[in-house]
Chain A
Amino acid sequence: MEIVQIVAIGFIVTVLILVIRERQPLFAFLLTAFTGILIFIFLLGRIGEVVETLELLAEESNVNSVFLKTLLKIIGIAYIAEFGAQTVRDAGQEAVAAKIELAGKILIMVMAVPIIAAIIETIMKLLPA
């Protein structure tokens, strides 16, 4: 029942932030960020289990491990970018949040380049010359 815990923390933090926000917005922001990080860390433990399972499956089905690693990296980048962007957005900096998201997209694309290249190569081989 971890969700109950998380919701409870969320409620409490919300109240605390409401109390602090009008006098010290700075501290309210820090509290938000702190809580966000806390929940994220909590979730990471769970995601770790998922990733382990995925790795196991990939090994058994003899998929090229480079692909899986790249895939996981992309997921990681997506998570980090999402987290960063949301935190910044909480502080009201929409513009910065957008830039972080953009950076995440581009980096994902960069990561994906080898895979795309491999796919195109395979397609070229399949097509008659």
Chain B
Amino acid sequence: MNVDVNAIFQIAGIGIIIAMIHTVLKQMGKEDMAHWVTLIGFVVVLFMVIRLLDQLFQQIKSIFLFQ
């Protein structure tokens, strides 16, 4: 339980920092850069979410579907 709670804060932190970088870049007129940064941040977080989702499905399978 404990480790995973850290992950929540990690994701939130990444989200906030990416949002700030996005804002700064956008203000300075570098929209394309801003979008790239957001995309990369998104991919990183998505990766974390998907790993967790995988874990979830494995558990469900093992409990309910006897595999």
Contacts and interface: CB of A to CB of B under 8 A. Distances in A.
Q: Do chains A and B touch in the complex (CB under 8 A)?
A: yes
Nearest to B62: A48
Nearest to B55: A41
B15 to A, nearest CB: 3
A78 B11 CA distance: 29
What is the predominant secondary structure among interface residues of chain B facing chain A?
Answer: helix
A110 B39 CA distance: 40
B28 interface: no
Contact of A69 (B11, B15, B66): B66
A44 B60 contact: yes
Contact of A42 (B1, B45, B53): B1
Contact of A51 (B8, B9, B64): B64
Contact of B52 (A38, A48, A73): A38
Interface string B29-65: 0000000001001100110110011011101110111
Contact of B53 (A37, A48, A75): A37
Contact of B65 (A37, A41, A76): A76
Nearest to B7: A34
B25 interface: no
Interface string A65-103: 000010011011101100000000000000000000000
Contact of A37 (B18, B45, B56, B61): B56
Contact of B45 (A5, A9, A30): A30
Given A27-B41, A33-B49, A34-B49, A19 B16 contact: yes
14 contacts: A9-B5, A16-B9, A16-B12, A24-B18, A24-B19, A24-B38, A30-B11, A30-B42, A35-B8, A38-B8, A72-B63, A76-B60, A76-B64, A76-B65
**Closest 7 interchain pairs by CB?**
A76-B64, A27-B15, A23-B19, A16-B12, A20-B15, A24-B19, A37-B52
